[in-house]
Structure formats: structure tokens, C-alpha cells
Amino acid sequence: MSNPLSDMEKPDVIFCIGTNMTEAHPVAATRLKKAIARGAKLIVADPRRIRLAEMADIYLPIRVGSDVALLLGMAHVIARDGLYDLDFMSARTEGFEEFLDHVGQFTPTWAAGITGVPAADIERAAILYGSAKPGAIFYTLGITEHICGVENVQSLCNLALMTGNLGKVGGGINPMRGQNNIQGAGDSGAIPNNYVGFQPVTNPAIQAKFEKAYGRPLDAEKGITKVTALDRCGESIFAMLIDGENTVVSDPDQQHCVHALKSLEHLVVIDIFLTETGELADVVLPAAAWAEVDGHFTNTERRIQRVRKAVEPPGEAQPDWWIISEIAKRMGMKGFDYSSAVPVFNELCELSPIYAGIDWELAESGQYQWPIPYKGHPGTPRLHETEFTNGRGKFSFTHYRDPAEVIDDAYPVWLTTGRRLESYHTRTQTGRSQGIDYLLAEETLEVHPEDVHAWGLVDGGWAEMSSRRGTVKIRVEATRRSPRGTVFASFAFPEVPINQLTGSGYDPITETAELKVCPVRVVAV
């Protein structure tokens, strides 16, 4: 998030797109509700009539995968009506004249043709956001889990740049991070393109710094993403160490994933339960869980917070840091003689410019949001207040493109996937919590009541849903949350492996899977 969570109560206009915030981030949604109670206006763009849509002043029920068209149409109106912030654009951005020209072609009528949303509503939304002082944008995986995920985000940045809604209290572009420490995983360098603190592996000075710190030569080229690595299992990838991720259930195209992991010569899995992924491993190592280890999580507003051990792990389970270090030491690696998580964190801070101002002791208070470039720096609740990291803000000349697969006679229905409030990812954790089973006992396929009727289904009965990759059996739930022609399911339940169907394509830059769009056929059984 560019802005702190506390800013969520401060915008005049809130634009939520591709985020089911009341279900995925309920406590954050509470803050938005406060803003609305204070008089803020809410725009919601989502294919499904989610709870947030019910609260909206303007609801834009866009066709799945048509976000870029909507955002270009809105930019067109803001440009046409002169709702942009000329002072901000002149002082902080470059190329804005060309951008205003670029969006001239994308009329609301054009956008309406692609999104299925009336042109008049696109105009109203653009005028409302364009006139806001300040206006804030919130999004989640509904924006990124597309083949055009990068263009989606760029299109949102364009809107914020042209209206000057960056670096301001109550403004910003705010992706809500899903998993509790997905931010920390990126921060710590567990990505193929950056070392800790987002230092590019391709920069020679940084390469030299880490060759010294880690005491060995390091590749000057980026690594490969997990998606690519799975594709190459058995061809050029022959061993994997997987920490705490149920890859088999959470990844798109499950058959492919199981096959990939089976073709490895060596698979080691660290986890707290014997997951579907662990079942395929050569070695499974029992980890201490949340509440059993000390360390840090970094939340969606870049706040570094201490997690503390409250109970002993069961049996012989050990903290991840100990397990990984032990494997490393047995392979003869240097630099893994840690006595606890404390020196691990301090080493990370020393090597990371964005954590340079803290250490284990200082992080204790939970008051720091990165970047914290030096000791004594107060941290950075709000990004881009005076300047952008790379100088001037750049507009992106985005274009709309179709999803990787579109509906046709064989697969005439759009399937979109997401999360549910009561479950978490693949339910390795919540599936073993008693109260949660009671609240949400099984997965259902959400179908518009008229489609239930038209397709010969029965509310509460069973359907078979197929894509080009597989078939699952699932119970039908008639609900007007789904628009006609689009159905919804989550991938929370291993018994209903929705990810056997998805995986039609990937964003070419981030290699994020297009989980949000998948043409399917639904028949009664």
C-alpha cells in the first residue's frame, strides 16, 4: 500500500476494484465503513455483486477480465472533462500530454462494449473519482491474477497520477496483500529478481556487495519464477526445497503441478501438517507454527511487526530458521551458525537499505513502516510524498486485450475464483479449526438463479464443471451475487480442486496465473 491503513478512513472517494475486501480483509473494510459513515462516496468495480457492491454509490459490474477497458474509459472522461491535476502532472510526472492524447480513443461507449457496463455509469464513476480530493484506490488479486495483471495495475496508476492522488493523506494506490507475510517474503529477497530489500540481482555493484556478504560468486542474471520452475521439473529442475506452502492445492493447473513435483529426484517439504504437497516429498520436516516462534511479519502497509512465541511446538517440531540452517550446515555452507531468530533478522536489516534503520530491538515497538533508511529515521507511513523513487512518475500507454481463453460454444460460461471470509488459502490451518468447519462446511458454485433454471440445475444439487484442463463435481448455490453467465467458486477445499480447471495463461511479466478468468461448461449431474 502506498498509504497507511489509518488513511483508509480519510478519503472523499474510495474506488475499490477487484477486491472482496469485506471477506478477504475484514478489519480493513471496517475502516472504509467509517469513511463512508463520515460521508465518503464508494465506487466498486467487480464482476460479482459482492457485499462491498451493496454498499456502493456506483457499482460497475464489469465482465471478468475487462478491467483495463473500464480504466481507460475512466481516464478518457477525466482527460476530456479536464478533471486532471495539471500542477501535479507538471511537477511530478512526465509524458502527460502524450498520455492525455492516448486515452482520447477510449470513449465510454467503447469501454461499455467491452465491459458490459453502461457508458453513463463509467462517466459517473470517472467524474466522481476525478473530482475527489483526495480519492483512494484499493485492489487485490482481482486485479493481479490476470494475464494483463501488469496493465491493470498500470492503468490504476495512470488514474492516480493524472488526478494527483499520490503522496497525499487519504489517497494513494493500495494493493491489499493477501497472506499475512507475503510482503515480508518479497522484502527478504525470496524472489528471483531481487536480493533483500528489492536490490536488483542484475546491478553489478549490488552483486559485488552480496558476493562479499555471502562469500561466493553469484549469478548476474535473474533466476526463474516458481511457475517456470514447475514447468521445468524433470527437465532442468531436479530438486526443490518448499517451505510451508501447499503448492499442489494452491497452484493453478493441479494435475500439471503434481506431475511436476513427482518428476523431481529430490523434494524436501517443511510444514506444520502433512499436506498434499508433503505426501509427494522424499523428506518432510516438521515446523513450529505461528504462536510457537519468534520473528516478524510485514503487513500490507509495510509495517514491520514482531510475532512472539507463546507455546512450545508439539513433539520435535522446530522453527523454520533452524531447519533451513541445519540443512545448509550439513551441506558445508558457511554463515548459518544462528543461535536464534535475532541474528537472522539483524543480518537482514544490515543488508537491506529499506530496513537499515531498525534491528530486532528497535522493531519491538511495531511502529516502523519501511523504508527506514537509517537509524533515527521515523519510517515512512506514506510513500511518494515528495518524490517518486525513480524520479518522475511515468504514465503507461496501456491497451485492452482479451483473457487467455474466452468463452465459446464448448465452454460458454465464465468461471471466476476467489476467497471466502471463513477460510484461508488451502485451509491447511482453518480446515483444522473446529469453529470454522461449522461456519463453512463445503464449497459451492455460485450461479445466478435464472442460469440455475436455464441450465437445468437445482439449487443445492450437484453440477459437473469442466474446463479445457479438467472436471470437478460441486454443489450448486443459486445467488444473485453472480451475474448471468458468470459463476464463482473458491479454491479453499482440496475435495473440490478448482485449480484443476484454472491456469489458462500467465501474465508475461509477473507470471502470475490468470486465476480470475476461466471459461467452463456447467452441467447438472
Residues 375 and 398: their CA atoms lie apart, in Å, by 40
Element (H, E) at 343: helix 341-351
Residues 44 and 19: their CA atoms lie apart, in Å, by 9
Rounded least distance, CB 313 to another protein, Å:
8
Q: 230-236: long-range contacts (C-beta < 8 A, 24 or more apart)? A: 230/256, 230/257, 230/260, 230/261, 231/260, 233/260, 233/261, 233/263, 233/264, 234/260, 234/263, 234/264
205 binds another protein (CB under 8 A): no
Nearer to ligand SF4, 152 or 423 (CB): 423
Residues 141 and 145: their CA atoms lie apart, in Å, by 5
Burial profile 111-148: b = 16 or more Cβ within 10 angstroms, e = fewer: bbebbbbebebbbbbbbbbbebebbbbbbbbbbbbbbb
Burial profile 330-366: b = 16 or more Cβ within 10 angstroms, e = fewer: eeeeeebebeebeebbbebbebbbbbbbbbbeebeee
CA proximity to 139, closest of 300, 370, 12: 300
DSSP labels, 103-122? GGG--HHHHHHHH-S-HHHH
Binding segment for ligand SF4 (CB under 6 A), chosen from 24-32, 256-264, 391-399, 432-440, is 24-32
Binding segment for ligand SF4 (CB under 6 A), chosen from 25-33, 248-256, 367-375, 488-496, is 25-33
Residue ranges in 9-38 that form contacts with another protein under rule CB under 8 A:
24-28, 30
Residue ranges in 428-447 that form contacts with another protein under rule CB under 8 A:
428-436, 439
Residue ranges in 229-258 that form contacts with another protein under rule CB under 8 A:
229, 236-245, 247, 250-252
366 binds ligand SF4 (CB under 6 A): no
333 binds, options ligand SF4, another protein, none, Cβ within 5 to 8 A by partner type = another protein
Residue ranges in 26-65 that form contacts with ligand SF4 under rule CB under 6 A:
26-27
435 binds ligand SF4 (CB under 6 A): no
335 binds another protein (CB under 8 A): yes
Residue ranges in 258-277 that form contacts with another protein under rule CB under 8 A:
265-266, 268, 271-274
Nearer to ligand SF4, 27 or 311 (CB): 27
Rounded least distance, CB 26 to ligand SF4, Å:
5
Residue ranges in 271-290 that form contacts with ligand SF4 under rule CB under 6 A:
none
Give the residue closest to ligand SF4 by C-beta. Answer: 27
Nine-digit cell string for 245: 506452502
Q: Which of 215, 378, 412, 461 binds another protein (CB under 8 A)?
A: 215
Nearer to ligand SF4, 100 or 492 (CB): 492
Nearer to another protein, 14 or 293 (CB): 293
The binding site for ligand SF4 (CB under 6 A) comprises 25-27
